[in-house]
Structures are given as structure tokens and as C-alpha cells.
Structure 1
Amino acid sequence: MWALTEQPGEVQSDALRDLHDFLLRAVLVYLSQHRSELTGWSRDDVRGLAEDLAQEALLEIQASIGGFKAESKFTTWAYRFVINRAASELRRRHYRNVSLDQLREDEPALFQALLPEQGAVEPERMAERRQYLNLLRDIIERGLNERQRAAIVGVHIQGLSMDEVAAALGLNRNALYKLLHDARKRIKARLQAQHLTEGDILAAFQD
């Protein structure tokens, strides 16, 4: 394995290929032991994830090779990189799935909470608000993909912070901004198809 740094050309390429194969085998075994956390994944999906993790670990090992000390076998040292990455990925996916499920469960109650109590406004205005809320919920449920929906509900209905929603979806803030931007464009297009604007919706909720 020292050929990673000590030898140029074909020798180094062979060493990298051998290390990649070792990492891939190691992470495939690890994922097979945690198959319950990948429910619904096909064998090809698991293989693809393993390939990605092995490649990421390989790059990290190359960048960290100077920190290797011969106190343990090189393979033992390298093994930790890919397993740590796999464990982090499974934790992230589990957290994201739980968070998405929670957003789905909370959504009906959150929409209902946006309506004032009966008698707080005149019946005609209450009916208009309910109509618009039902329309918005239908657009969010049918017009957005799962991640866009979770982002919109989390930020604009549930009132979570950008950082909380980004963490739940496994995104950075810039990626979440882009996700929200695309979701709003879809909502706007669906409203326009109903000959409505965002201003019409907002006006209905102003007392």
C-alpha cells in the first residue's frame, strides 16, 4: 500500500485500484450488516452507494496519507475511513427519513392552525381562506416533489429555521435556498393556472 506515495506511474495506479477494491469490499460487508437501514433499496442501489463511499474514502485517504503512522496495519487505518463514511451516511439518511415522515404527519394540523377560530371572521371570508388553503395544500401535495414539499412545509408552515430544515434534508443552506426557489416557482405556476397570484392569497388572510 505504500506504493500510493512512493512509486509513480503504473505501480501507483495498481496500488490505488487495489485499495479501492479493498474499500469497496469492506463497505459492502458493512452495508449488508445494516440492510434494515436501507429498506426498499435494490442490490444495484446498495452497490452504487458502496461505490460512492469507497471512492470518497479513497480520496480522503490520499489526502491524509501523511498522517499514517505504522502503529497499525495500513489496511486497518484505511478501513476506518470508509466505515466512518458509511456510518455517517446511514445516520444522515435515517435522520432525513424520520424528519420527512414527521413533516408529512404534521402537515394537516399545521394547515388547520393557519385558519382562525370559527366566528373570528365573517363566514364568507372564512370560506375563502379555507378554499385557498385547500388549493395550496393540493398544490404542495401534487405539484412538488418530496424534498420541495418538505422544505416548503418546514420553513413556511412549520416555522423551522433554515438550518433545521437543511439538516433534516441533508443539504447545505445554498442548496436549500435553491430547493425553496424551485418550489416557489412551481407553486406560482400552479396558482397562475388557476388565474390567481400570490397577492390574491395573501390578501385573503389580511384582517
Structure 2
Amino acid sequence: MDAFEGGRGPQYEQACTQLHELLVRIAMDEVFRRGPRYRITGPELNDLAHQAVADALMRITHKIQLGRHFWRVSNNRFDLDEWAQVPDRSGIDPVSHWQARELVEAARDAVETALSARQRQVFTAVVNGVPLETLASELETNRNALYKTMFDARKKLRAQLIAGGHLSAAR
């Protein structure tokens, strides 16, 4: 198996980078063309384009690796003790490990406290990899409404994480 097929290696990374750049150009053209029709302007257009690109790139790269079916047939799951040792094995120092853990806990708390029930439902579904078409169908809505919900949710989460000192306000 070569480096491209396995989803690792410089060839794969370079291909993903090039594809991402191409998709961003296409998505930016499209949102600027369609944005005024839906009264969407400013940073929201940029955010929608990047969300669409992330969705597309994720779908494409997952399709490439579907042939391996690794996660469908693998019964090898890490238990909590094994996960606790991952930072040590990967060379992450304890301070960085705890900072990352603190950020994850703050993010989890922000999802629970800052988001509306609908935003939380959409956010967790998207984070868990539910395809937008499927989610839109299940929630009887459309992709644009989901993008808007995600935009608002990310804005609230970012504000809460900044207020808690977990992120800097500078972009």
C-alpha cells in the first residue's frame, strides 16, 4: 500500500492541501455569488465557505479510506487507562496535557450551558460526523439553516471560551 492510499505521508497531505485550496476558491466564489440572495454578508460568508469546504474535504477523504473498513471491523478499542497514557507516548508534556484537558472540559461545559437545545443538537450531530443532508432531513430543515445554526453556536462557544480565559480574543 502506498502512502497515498493509506491516508498518511507527504503525498496524501500535499494532495489534501491542494484540494482544500481549490475547494476554498470555489466555495468563496459560490458564497459571494449566492450570499446577497439570502442576505448573508461579512464574516458569515467566509465562515459558510470554510464550513462547506471542511464538510466536502471530510467526505472526500473518508470515501478514500472507506475501502479499508478499518473502523467497522476493528474491535480494538482503547480503555481509559490506555487513553491516559497517550500523551506520555506521544511526547506531550504534562502541562500541555492538562491545559488541553482543561480546554476540552471548558468546551464541553460551554456546549451544555451556552447553546440552545437546537444549537446543541445540531452542533453535537455535526461534531459526531452526521452528514448535513441526513441531519437536514431528520430535522426537517435545509443546509443553509444548519450552517447558520453552526455559525451562531460557534460564535457563542468562542465567546464563552474567551470569557473563561481559555482562548484569546485575537483571531
Whichever of the two has the greater Rg, that structure is 1
The structure in which a higher percent of residues are helix is 1
- Would you call these one fold, judging by a TM-score over 0.5? no
TM-score under structure 2 normalisation? 0.44
| TM-score using structure 1 length | 0.37
